[in-house]
């Protein structure tokens, strides 16, 4: 892309005005869904969201190293995908995790931007988790132009055993990741 009179146009063909970006899921297909925001308009953008939630009842993980929550990298369960045309807005991403440990522990969920091991949340965690607690993560980031995945992460102080809950086998609880986006 380049600009002409302040308007984004195609480099080398400046009669072509830039309208937006999409990412393909196959040779002839793209997708705009709550788990795959692959379509991005430059003009008349509308607010939208992406969400994923792990359908696993629960799992254990008690290691002080960030990893994909439940080691799950499936789109729609452990992560969402999106495409950004121009990096000109903040994206807000939140994770919600519920966990338990019989020994007081510091735990957190987090947001991995194109990563399963690097956390980008600025505000997060639950200190002195005892029995049950909530370990949310909050992230604000200007995502660079291009394709991204937003991965839910988890970490736990290595004491006792930390149990994490996905849907807890009920319809009225769900851990997951939520991103405020535009399309």
Partner 1 sequence: MINAQKLDAELKNAGIQISGCNTNGKVWDVGNNEIQSRADVAAVIAAHNPEDTPVTEITFSLPIVAPDFITMTPEINADPELALEEAIAEMEKGEGKPKSIALIALSLAKYLKSKKDKIK
103 binds partner 1 (CB under 8 A): no
59 binds partner 1 (CB under 8 A): yes
- At a CB cut-off of 8 Å and minimum separation 6, what does 21 contact? 40, 42, 83, 84, 85, 145
122 binds partner 1 (CB under 8 A): no
Min separation Cβ 124 and partner 1, Å = 20
Work out which of 3, 11, 30, 63 binds partner 1, going by CB under 8 A.
Answer: 63
3-state DSSP of 36-56: EECEEECCCCCEEEEEECCCC
Nearer to partner 1, 85 or 133 (CB): 133
The gap between the terminal CA atoms of the chain, to the nearest Å, is 19
**CB-based contact 50:37 (threshold 8 Å):** yes
57 binds partner 1 (CB under 8 A): yes
* Residues forming the site for partner 1 (CB under 8 A): 56-63, 67, 70-71, 161, 163
């Amino acid at each position: 892309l380049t600009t002409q009179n302040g308007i984004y146009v195609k480099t080398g063909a400046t009669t072509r005005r830039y309208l937006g970006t999409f990412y393909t899921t196959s040779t002839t297909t793209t997708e705009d869904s709550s788990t795959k925001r692959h379509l991005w308009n430059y003009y008349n953008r509308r607010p939208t969201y992406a969400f994923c939630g792990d359908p696993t009842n629960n799992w254990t993980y008690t290691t002080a190293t960030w990893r994909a929550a439940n080691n799950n990298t499936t789109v729609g369960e452990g992560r969402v995908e999106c495409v950004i045309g121009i990096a000109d807005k903040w994206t807000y991403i939140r994770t919600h995790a519920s966990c338990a440990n019989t020994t007081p522990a510091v735990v957190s969920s987090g947001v991995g931007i194109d990563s399963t091991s690097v956390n980008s949340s600025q505000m997060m965690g639950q200190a002195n988790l005892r029995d049950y607690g909530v370990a949310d993560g909050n992230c604000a980031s200007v995502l660079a132009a291009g394709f991204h995945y937003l991965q839910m992460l988890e970490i736990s102080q290595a004491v006792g055993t930390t149990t994490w809950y996905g849907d807890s086998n009920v319809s009225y609880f769900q851990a997951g990741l939520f991103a405020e986006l535009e399309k």
